[in-house]
């Protein structure tokens, strides 16, 4: 998989980006678009889930009156998806589809004058920059770059375009030995030779090109070191780069380290590039954690960004900083706010910054006064916002819940009133019956209270007894908020007549930094007790059959399942572990982002004087495998370089060697996620076939 596709595919899997077509000419390639489905049941199925449209990137027009956004759809028989562009007025009127192509359109942008829409498309081969009128007419290609590009943005004065593109590493084996052009061997002499799901042969650089309204010319690479990258892999996008309003400066996020130093550090900085002098200045020198996602105020006087304090802690508190660009004075605005800040957006008058933040497993919209630091919570409700934008007198957000995919919503800042603008999946959702989602607070073993989501089957009957599934979250520091997943979909699980128990155990954000950080250095500790507190509390309910309990999870959730398999005291009758860590000693030497392993595990297993590290490795799931006594389904993928496939193979082999019923679902072409439609459906069918076999 090419590096440039990782973020897009991840967001597709989460339902946070887009894809969709309609009818074209009869001789044109078949398009993938919204399906007119009449369901035979009101229960969610994998096929229905994969037929839903997924709203993606959204941008507001320069006049603040029109939204431009993408919607993605998948075609199961074709085993692929497609993304098309739409426009809509910010009051919800004039919902219009403006592209109808089989190749898809990505990274939509309004040109600053509002007269054109720019986007990326691979219509003629490689991904290139195109433009069209706001109604979709007069579509023209304006770049012709040999290797294409991965993202772009216009300079505010329209004189330039910046874009990101891959730069090939010049020290490959073929470069060293040109007489061996067909060799497949790789010579590695440093770390970070592969990352998440790709071997590192290229690095993403920023280029600045002249733009005359018809084409881009004279591109300049503003990153002189070959192995520097912007955006940062694997989750970064164009949000890590910002134009100054006068078009004279570019501020970008970069971790200017390579090899071993890169693998040990999260210390990224914001760099200011001056287009007139070609000089680059580090704006955040001495700030040791992640500094990223810069956003200029409309007058260019201030720069806001997200900042983490400590090097090596990728789950540190995401703080809001503002810099006065005249004096370079930095102000920490959220010092007394024990929550993370994301998706920053300035008010038009530069007096406020809007952001999203998670508290008690709900992502709401907030504002903060730049001068006084007063924070106001704008939205309420059982949902989560993952983005926020300003559109004249209203805010526009992307909102989802455990019962609804992402839809676009308008927000009145003063009253907090929210009204839904899009209804992409209404024809399907109107035919489905969703299960009730309930918030419970459950006592933990150390005297605290833990928020646990309980999702009930549709047509729930309190007089019946249901099997229950304990959901173990990955990350480990990622929230169990009101998210809609196209794999770990709670409504899908509930539709198969299971009670779902999803605890916000120790190590999750939204409950203060102390709650979040407790898990680091305590794998197999308090958070495992939290899991058991949650399932034990629900097992006491008269509608739960305590003899039919299962535990499921991926990544750290997969680790949790493996650990519980050796320490559950006969609570569970079935397990499913996806991409889980099984042997922590092996995992330490197999993974690539060493800052993560060092922070969360405490360091290498050979450091016998490190009590935190020794505790971690003593609690590795493979050390309890002799206690396994319960059927287990293991899922893993070959392109997962974060937690390699041998971890899953080892767990499966351990079960079979002990005579424990086990299955191993293996994907040779997937990474840490499952992104292809037919693989996704196979995953769902295998999941429910397994739990039904042992719990029903």
Residue 382 class from Cβ within 10 Å (0-12 exposed, 13-18 middle, 19+ buried)?
Answer: middle
Measured distance CA(242)–CA(252) in Å, rounded: 6
Q: What separation, in Å, do the N-terminal and C-terminal C-alpha atoms of the chain show? A: 39
Q: What does the alpha-carbon distance between residue 297 and residue 303 come to, in Å, rounded to a whole number?
A: 6
Query: Hey, what's the torsion of the CAs at 8, 13, 15, 17, to 10 degrees?
Result: 10
Catalytic residue among 51, 244, 555, 616: 555
Give the C-alpha separation, 675 to 389, whole Å: 28
**Which residue in 404, 545, 640, 650 is the catalytic one?**
640
Q: DSSP assignment, residue 510?
A: S
Q: Cβ(279)–Cβ(227) under 8 Å?
A: no
342 is catalytic: no
Q: Three-state SS for 537? A: helix
Among this protein's residues, is 555 annotated catalytic? yes
Dihedral angle computed from the Cα positions of residues 551, 556, 558 and 562, in that order, rounded to the nearest 10 degrees: -80
Residues 6+ apart with CB under 8 A from 381: 362, 364, 418
- Residue matched to tokens 């991409």: 579
Structure token digits, residue 551: 């535990």
Q: Look up residue 529 and give its two tokens.
A: 């007790």
Structure tokens at 319: 């703080």
C-alpha 377/C-alpha 357 separation (Å) is: 9
Burial of 328 (0-12, 13-18, 19+ CB in 10 A): exposed
Distance CA 205, CA 4 (A): 11
Report DSSP state, residue 31.
Answer: P
- 125 burial type by CB count under 10 A (0-12 exposed, 13-18 middle, 19+ buried): exposed
State the CB neighbour count (10 A cutoff) for residue 443: 11
Buried b (16+ CB within 10 A) or exposed e, 169-200: eeeeeeeeeeeeeeeeeeeeeebbbebbbbeb
Question: Alpha-carbon dihedral of residues 504, 505, 511, 516, nearest 10 degrees?
Answer: -130
Count of beta carbons in the 10 Å neighbourhood of residue 439: 12
Of 40, 35, 47, 39, the C-alpha closest to 76 is 47
DSSP conformation letters of 70-128: EEEEEETTTTEEEEEEEEEETTS---EE----SS--EEEEE-TTSS-EEEEE-TTSS-E
Q: Which two structure tokens, joined as six digits, stand for 668?
A: 């040779």
Contact 390, 479 (CB under 8 A): no
How far, in Å, CA of 47 to CA of 41, rounded? 12
Angle at 160 between CA 154 and CA 165, to 5 degrees: 75
Active-site pick, 195, 198, 568, 672: 672
Quick count: other Cβ atoms within 10 Å of Cβ 263?
21
> Is the bond leading into 231 cis (omega within 30 degrees of zero)?
yes
672 in active site: yes
Region of 115 on the Ramachandran plot (φ > 0 left; ψ -120 to 50 alpha; else beta): alpha
Active site amino acids: 555, 640, 672
């Amino acid at each position: 998989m090419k590096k440039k596709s990782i973020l897009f595919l991840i967001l597709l899997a989460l339902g946070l980006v887009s894809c969709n077509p309609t009818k074209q000419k009869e001789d044109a390639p078949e398009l993938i678009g919204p399906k007119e489905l009449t369901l035979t049941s009101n229960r969610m199925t994998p096929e229905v889930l994969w037929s839903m449209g997924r709203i993606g990137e959204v941008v507001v027009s320069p006049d603040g009156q029109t939204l431009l956004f993408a919607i993605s759809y998948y075609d199961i028989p074709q085993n692929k998806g497609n993304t098309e562009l739409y426009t809509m007025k910010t009051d919800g009127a004039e919902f219009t589809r403006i592209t109808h192509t089989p190749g898809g359109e990505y990274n939509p942008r309004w040109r600053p004058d509002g007269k054109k829409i720019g986007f990326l498309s691979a219509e003629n081969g490689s991904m290139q920059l195109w433009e069209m009128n706001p109604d979709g007419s007069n579509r023209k290609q304006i770049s012709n770059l040999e290797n294409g590009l991965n993202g772009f943005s216009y300079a505010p004065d329209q004189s330039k375009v910046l874009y990101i593109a891959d730069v090939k590493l010049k020290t490959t084996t073929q470069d060293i030995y040109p007489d061996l052009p067909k060799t497949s061997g790789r010579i590695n002499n440093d770390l970070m030779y592969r990352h998440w799901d790709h071997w590192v042969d290229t690095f993403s650089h920023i280029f600045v090109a002249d733009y005359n309204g018809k084409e881009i010319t004279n591109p300049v690479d503003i990153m002189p070191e070959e192995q520097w990258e912007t955006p940062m892999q694997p989750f970064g996008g164009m949000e890590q780069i910002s134009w100054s309003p006068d078009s004279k400066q570019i501020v970008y996020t970069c971790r200017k380290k390579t090899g071993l130093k890169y693998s040990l550090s999260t210390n990224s900085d914001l760099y200011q590039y001056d287009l007139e002098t070609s000089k680059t200045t580090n704006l955040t020198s001495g700030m040791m954690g992640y500094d990223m996602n810069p956003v200029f105020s409309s007058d260019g006087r201030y720069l806001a960004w997200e900042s983490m304090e400590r090097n090596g802690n990728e789950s540190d508190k995401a703080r809001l900083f503002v810099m006065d660009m005249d004096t370079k004075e930095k102000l920490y605005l959220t010092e007394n706010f024990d929550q993370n800040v994301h998706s920053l957006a300035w008010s038009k008058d530069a007096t406020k910054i809007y952001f999203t933040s998670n508290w008690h497993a709900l992502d709401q919209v907030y504002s903060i006064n730049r001068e006084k630091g007063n924070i106001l919570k704008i939205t309420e409700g059982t949902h989560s916002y993952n983005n926020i934008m300003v559109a004249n007198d209203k805010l526009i957000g992307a909102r989802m819940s455990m019962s609804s995919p992402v839809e676009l919503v308008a927000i009145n800042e003063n009253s907090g009133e929210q009204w839904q603008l899009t209804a992409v999946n209404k024809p399907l959702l109107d035919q489905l019956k969703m299960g009730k989602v309930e918030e419970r607070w459950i006592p933990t073993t150390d005297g605290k209270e833990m928020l646990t989501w309980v999702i009930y089957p549709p047509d729930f009957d309190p007089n019946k007894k249901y099997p229950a599934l304990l959901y173990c979250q990955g990350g480990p520091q990622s929230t169990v908020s009101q998210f809609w997943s196209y794999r770990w979909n709670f409504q899908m699980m509930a539709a198969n007549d299971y009670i779902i128990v999803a605890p916000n155990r120790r190590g999750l954000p939204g409950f203060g930094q102390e709650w979040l950080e407790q898990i680091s250095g305590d794998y197999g500790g308090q958070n495992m007790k939290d899991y058991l507190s949650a399932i034990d509390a629900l097992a006491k309910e008269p509608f739960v059959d305590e003899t039919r309990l299962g535990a499921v999870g991926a990544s750290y959730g997969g680790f949790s399942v493996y650990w519980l398999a050796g320490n559950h005291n006969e609570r569970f009758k079935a397990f499913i572990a996806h991409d889980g860590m099984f042997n922590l000693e092996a995992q330490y030497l197999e993974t690539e982002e060493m800052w993560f392993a060092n922070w969360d595990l405490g360091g290498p297993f050979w450091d016998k004087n490190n009590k935190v590290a020794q505790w971690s490795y003593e609690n590795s799931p493979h050390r309890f495998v002799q206690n396994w006594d319960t059927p287990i389904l293991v899922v893993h993928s070959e392109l997962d370089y974060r937690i390699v496939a041998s971890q899953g193979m080892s767990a499966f082999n351990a079960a079979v060697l002990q005579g424990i019923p086990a299955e191993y679902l293996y994907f040779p072409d997937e990474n840490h996620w499952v992104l292809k439609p037919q693989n996704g459906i196979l995953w769902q069918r295998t999941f429910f076939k397994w739990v039904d076999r042992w719990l029903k």
